[in-house]
Structure 1
Amino acid sequence: MRQFGEPTPRTARPTWIGVPALVLVLLGVLVLADAQSRQDLSRELLDTGIETVADAVQVEVTGGAGRPAINEVRVDLTAAGADRIRTTLHDIVDDRQGMPEGIQQPAPGTRYAMPLHLVYRQSDPSTVLALKDAQEWLDDKDAPRLGQGLIGAGLALVVLAALLLTIGARRRGLAWWQWYAEPLARHRK
């Protein structure tokens, strides 16, 4: 058992920085991947997709952790050269805008209220985005910056941890790359 004032073991020193660093990098990668996939789909649908107006819209609002949220938006549309298609929007903005829980038509003036302009993939009409969402996600610069910032902060913490581990190894008389080794016997009390 370690006595008060005794140095902490090597595992309790700068290595604790690695956990938040990895969490930041992981969150950054997830944010960046989500933003990139939204932008790629938006770009594809805006460039080559077909615009239409939904025939019917239903929003499912569910309660989650005390804050209701939009779970999915179901739309009916008539695709060119096809019958009426019933599908869900591929990706949505989670803003219930005061709507109560349950399946319902979107309240007038809300994001997914009628007339809802859509853009869908010609080869697969079930891949649909709200036109407004596609335009906003394509223009979004904040989410990619946030992801890059989280990755940068996490990597900076990894470099800081490596630097502190190297300094600690040098203080114990070890080579800089031996930060994982036990201190030399001459340094023990």
Structure 2
Amino acid sequence: MDAVARLVSGLGVFAVLAVVFGVVAIVDDRHQRSVGREFLATGTRTVATDVVLQVRTSRGDEYIDSVDVVFGSHRAMLSESQGDPEGNGVGDHPPNAGTRYAAPLPVLYKADDPTQVIAAVDAEEFAARSGIPGFAQGAIALGGTVGIGLGAVWWIAGRRGRARPDP
């Protein structure tokens, strides 16, 4: 395979991955928006008195893997959470005072299934989102443009090849 063919193949793979990334980001955003709206519409408000963050690391970056909460007689893991560890190190520990998940934490839970719970601040933020995230639009536009450009080059090269007489 010559260098040009490898370049074209690499650009094609990039284009497909960019479009797939953009579509997955849109689907995830719509899911979070739906979850937020559902909890706000049907959830029962209460306050979690005990909160524990599980902060993990991946590829050198720290993130919140899960958030465990206790409210009333129920213990549950938040259905959705933001990944920013808010200055907390790797491990299981209470969130720092004044941070997003610090106790007392207002939460919404499903009365018929108290294991389904979300922080009220997350439900409100998710539900307030509208439109398509800009980075997803950019990824789809970039991938689509590269893909269309490669398709045009392939089509033009094919037409030129057919226009030549056979020796």
TM-score norm. by structure 2 comes to 0.87
User: Aligned-pair distance for 1:153?
Assistant: 2.4
In the alignment, the residues of structure 1 paired with residue 135 and residue 127 of structure 2 have an alpha-carbon distance, to the nearest angstrom, of: 16
Aligned to 2:144: 155
Q: Aligned to 1:52, what secondary structure does the other structure show?
A: strand
Aligned to 1:26: 20
Q: Does 1:76 align with 2:70?
A: yes
Q: Conserved in 2, the CA contact under 8 Å of 1:31 and 1:143? A: no
Aligned to 2:113: 124
In the alignment, the residues of structure 1 paired with residue 70 and residue 126 of structure 2 have an alpha-carbon distance, to the nearest angstrom, of: 23
- Residue type at the aligned position of 1:108: A
Q: Is there any run of 5+ residues in structure 2 with no aligned partner, and where?
A: none
Q: Percent identity?
A: 31
Q: Is there any run of 5+ residues in structure 1 with no aligned partner, and where?
A: 3-7, 79-83, 175-182
* 1:61-108 per-position Cα deviation (integer Å, ceiling 9, x unaligned): 223322322211100113xxxxx1111111111111212222111110
Q: Any residues of structure 2 matched to 1:46-125 within 5 Å, and which?
A: 46-78=40-72, 84-125=73-114
TM-score norm. by structure 1 comes to 0.77
CA gap 1:103/1:15 in 2 versus in 1, 3 angstroms: closer
User: Aligned-pair distance for 1:129?
Assistant: 0.9
User: Aligned-pair distance for 1:47?
Assistant: 1.2
- Residue type at the aligned position of 1:129: I
